[in-house]
Structures are given as structure tokens and as C-alpha cells.
A = this chain, B = another copy of it.
């Protein structure tokens, strides 16, 4: 899985705690997480295309959450960054080789593919059950208070 997924989720959580109406440029998001600015921008564009974040051009522009944090699931973010393609793709090798039959003889989906699909659905459901809001709840409990204060101070600094 792409490393950008981790970056994207962290960025979304930071955008979620932004004051209403405020935005944060990609460069600031990259600075806060200490990641390459230009490359992070690429993933933020993917989030924007998916509607998870909104982009504002020009001075005092940047990114902000496109909808309430409770309406953004981890699955949304993962699919946006990864492209939404299934990790396991059945190439129907059962229809090839010396013991194969004409295509029309194969009715249902390959049993192996079905098993892999079930596992993937379990994964997707677990991700779909976690919203950004849930993550924020966890963070409020786990993040050291000192780190939260430094974050607020940093935001005041860069948003002068």
C-alpha cells in the first residue's frame, strides 16, 4: 500500500480540527508532517478529486475538508489515494491451459476470487466503519496535551 495513505489520513485529521472557514496550503501541511511538499500535493489533489477536501486558490488559499468529519470514512481516503482498485484481481487462469473449456462454460465467479473478495469486503467494511470523527476522538484521548498546544501555536504562527 502506498505511503501516501498515511500522509493523507494525517492531513485530513489536521484539516478536521481547523477553525471553520480556514484553509491550510499544501506546503504547510507538508511542513507540519515533515514530508516532501511536492509529492504530498499529488495526494492532496487525489483527495480533492474525490471531494474529500476542497481546494481554494490564491493568497490565503489552501485546502479544507469538503464535508463534515463524521461523513468521511477511512475507506473514502484509502480509495481516493489508491485509486479504488481491488488488491486481488482474478485473471481467470482457470479458463486457460490444456484443461480449459470455451468461455461460455464458466458460469459463476471463480471460487478463489470469491474467497479473496470476501476477505477484501471484510477489510473495506472495517475501514468504512471508521470515520474521521472517530479518529479525532482517539486522538483527543491519546495525543499528549503538550503536542496539542504546540500544534495550536504553530497554526497561529503560520496563519498570521
Query: Which A positions have Cβ atoms within 8 angstroms of B?
Result: 1, 3, 5-7, 9-10, 13, 31-35, 74, 87-91, 93-94, 96-101, 105-108, 111-112, 114-116, 118-127, 130, 134-135, 138-139, 142-144, 146-147, 150-151, 153-154
User: Separation in Å of the A9 CB from the closest CB of chain B?
Assistant: 5
B residues in contact with A111, CB < 8 Å: 135, 138-139, 142
- B147-A101 in contact (CB<8A): yes
Given contacts A13-B112, A135-B111, A138-B114, contact A6 B88 (CB under 8 A): yes
B residues in contact with A139, CB < 8 Å: 111
B residues in contact with A121, CB < 8 Å: 126
13 residue pairs from A and B, CB less than 8 Å apart: A6-B112, A32-B97, A34-B93, A35-B93, A74-B115, A94-B147, A99-B147, A99-B151, A99-B154, A100-B150, A105-B147, A120-B123, A123-B123
